[in-house]
Structure 1
Amino acid sequence: MARMNGGEALVRSLAAEGLRVVFGVPGAGQYEAIDALYTTPSVRYIAVRHEQAASYMADGYARASGEVAAALVVEGPGLFNALSGVATAYATSSPILVVTGGHHHRKKGLELNEEAWLGPLTKWVGRAGRPAEIPGLVQEAFRKLRSGRPRPVGIEVPPSVFAATEEVGLVQPANGSPDSAGPDPQAVRRAAELLSSARRPVIWAGGGVMRAKAATLVSELADYLQIPVVTTRQGKGTISELHPLSLGMAEMRFQPLRNWLAARDLILAVGTSHYSSGDGQQVIRIDVDEEEIGEGDYTLALQGDAFPVMMALNGAVAAAGPAREDKAEAVQAEVAAINGKRFDPSRQLHPQWGFMEAIHAALPDDAIVIQGMNQMGYYSRNYFRARGPHTYLTSSSHGTLGCAYPIALGAKVGCPDQVVVSLSGDGGFLYNAQELSTAVQYGINAIAVVFNDNAYGNVLRAQMEEFDGHVLGTRLHNPDFAAMAQSFGAHGVLAEDADALQGALEEAVSGENGKPVLIEVPVGMLDREF
Structure 2
Amino acid sequence: MEAMTGGEAIVATLKLVGIDTIFGIPGVHTGGFYDAIYAEPSIRHVMTRHEQGAAFMADGYARASGRVACLSTITGPGVTNAATGLGEARADSSPILHIASTLDPATHGHDVGELHELHDQSGVLQSIVGHHQLVHSIQEIPEAVIRAVQHMRTTRPGPASIEIPLALLTDHAPVNLPAAPLMPDLTPNPASITQAAQMLAQASCPVIYAGGGAMDAGTALVAIAERLRAPVLTTYTGKGAFPESHALSIGCKMRQDETAYDFLRSCDVALVVGCRLGHRTTDGGALPLPSQLIQIDIDASSIGHARKTTIGIEADASEALAALLEEDLGEPKDVDQHNVQRLRLNQGYSAANPDSALILEALRSVMPPDAVLVNDMTMVGYDAPKYFTLDHPRSFMFPNYFGTLGFSLPAAIGAQVACPGRTIVSISGDGGFLFTSEELATAVREQLPIIAIVSDDGLYAAIDRHQRRTFNDRTLDMRLTNPDFVKLAESYGMPGVAVSDPDSLARETQTAANRDGPSLIVYELSNRQTCQ
Partner of 1:80: 80
Partner of 2:388: 384
Amino acid in the other structure paired with 1:257: A
Partner of 1:519: 521
1:138 aligns with 2:178: no
Partner of 2:172: 165
1:262 aligns with 2:265: yes
Partner of 1:46: 46
1:227 aligns with 2:230: yes
Secondary structure at the residue paired with 2:368? coil
Amino acid in the other structure paired with 2:168: V
Partner of 2:465: 461
* In 1, Cα distance between equivalents of 2:173 and 2:263: 66
Structure 2 counterparts to residues 178-189 of structure 1, below 5 A: 178-180=184-186, 182-189=187-194
Partner of 2:102: 102
* In 1, Cα distance between equivalents of 2:406 and 2:358: 24
Structure 1 residue 260, shift from structure 2 partner: 0.9
Report if aligned partners of 1:370, 1:392 keep a CA contact under 8 Å in 2: yes
Structure 1 residue 12, shift from structure 2 partner: 1.5
Amino acid in the other structure paired with 2:323: A
Partner of 1:487: 491
Change in CA separation of 1:279 and 1:287 when aligned onto 2, cut-off 3 Å: closer
Structure 1 residue 347, shift from structure 2 partner: 8.7
Partner of 2:64: 64
* In 1, Cα distance between equivalents of 2:230 and 2:129: 36
Partner of 1:332: 337
Secondary structure at the residue paired with 1:101? strand
* In 1, Cα distance between equivalents of 2:484 and 2:125: 38
Identity %: 35
How far does the alpha carbon of each residue in 1:160-193 deviate from its partner, in whole angstroms, 9 at most, with x for none?
1112122222222322x2442x322232122122
Structure 1 residue 140, shift from structure 2 partner: 1.5
Amino acid in the other structure paired with 1:302: I
Q: Give the TM-score, by structure 2 length.
A: 0.92
Structure 2 counterparts to residues 192-341 of structure 1, below 5 A: 192-210=197-215, 213-274=216-277, 275=282, 278=288, 281-295=291-305, 296-316=307-327, 319-321=328-330, 324=332, 327=334, 330-341=335-346
Deviates more, 1:108-117 or 1:77-86: 108-117
* In 1, Cα distance between equivalents of 2:73 and 2:48: 11
Secondary structure at the residue paired with 2:479? coil
* In 1, Cα distance between equivalents of 2:353 and 2:303: 38
Q: Give the TM-score, by structure 1 length.
A: 0.92
* In 1, Cα distance between equivalents of 2:391 and 2:340: 17
* In 2, Cα distance between equivalents of 1:200 and 1:139: 44
Structure 2 counterparts to residues 443-458 of structure 1, below 5 A: 443-458=447-462
Deviates more, 1:196-205 or 1:76-85: 196-205
* In 1, Cα distance between equivalents of 2:148 and 2:193: 32
Change in CA separation of 1:341 and 1:12 when aligned onto 2, cut-off 3 Å: closer
1:365 aligns with 2:369: yes
* In 1, Cα distance between equivalents of 2:432 and 2:442: 18
Amino acid in the other structure paired with 2:315: G
* In 2, Cα distance between equivalents of 1:20 and 1:399: 29
1:474 aligns with 2:478: yes
Change in CA separation of 1:167 and 1:187 when aligned onto 2, cut-off 3 Å: closer
Deviates more, 1:268-277 or 1:46-55: 268-277
1:402 aligns with 2:409: no
* In 1, Cα distance between equivalents of 2:260 and 2:134: 49
Structure 1 residue 321, shift from structure 2 partner: 4.3
Partner of 2:28: 28
Change in CA separation of 1:421 and 1:258 when aligned onto 2, cut-off 3 Å: same
Structure 1 spans left out of the alignment, 5+ residues:
none
Change in CA separation of 1:228 and 1:117 when aligned onto 2, cut-off 3 Å: same
Structure 1 residue 47, shift from structure 2 partner: 0.6
* In 1, Cα distance between equivalents of 2:430 and 2:130: 34
Structure 2 spans left out of the alignment, 5+ residues:
none
Secondary structure at the residue paired with 2:261? helix
Amino acid in the other structure paired with 2:219: T
Deviates more, 1:95-104 or 1:458-467: 458-467
Secondary structure at the residue paired with 1:146? helix
How far does the alpha carbon of each residue in 1:210-259 deviate from its partner, in whole angstroms, 9 at most, with x for none?
1xx21221111111221100011111111111211111112252222211
CA RMSD of aligned residues (A): 2.2
Secondary structure at the residue paired with 1:370? strand
Change in CA separation of 1:347 and 1:465 when aligned onto 2, cut-off 3 Å: closer
Structure 1 residue 382, shift from structure 2 partner: 2.2
Report if aligned partners of 2:353, 2:379 keep a CA contact under 8 Å in 1: no
* In 1, Cα distance between equivalents of 2:109 and 2:198: 61
* In 1, Cα distance between equivalents of 2:102 and 2:150: 22
* In 1, Cα distance between equivalents of 2:184 and 2:374: 26
Structure 1 residue 141, shift from structure 2 partner: 1.7
Report if aligned partners of 2:353, 2:380 keep a CA contact under 8 Å in 1: no
1:374 aligns with 2:381: no
How far does the alpha carbon of each residue in 1:378-426 deviate from its partner, in whole angstroms, 9 at most, with x for none?
0112222122211111113010111111111111111111111111001
Amino acid in the other structure paired with 2:243: S
* In 1, Cα distance between equivalents of 2:248 and 2:7: 52
* In 2, Cα distance between equivalents of 1:3 and 1:279: 58
Secondary structure at the residue paired with 1:312? helix
* In 2, Cα distance between equivalents of 1:401 and 1:95: 20
Change in CA separation of 1:446 and 1:190 when aligned onto 2, cut-off 3 Å: same
Report if aligned partners of 2:211, 2:234 keep a CA contact under 8 Å in 1: yes
Amino acid in the other structure paired with 2:303: I
Report if aligned partners of 1:196, 1:320 keep a CA contact under 8 Å in 2: yes
* In 2, Cα distance between equivalents of 1:77 and 1:348: 36
Structure 1 residue 278, shift from structure 2 partner: 4.6
Amino acid in the other structure paired with 1:288: I
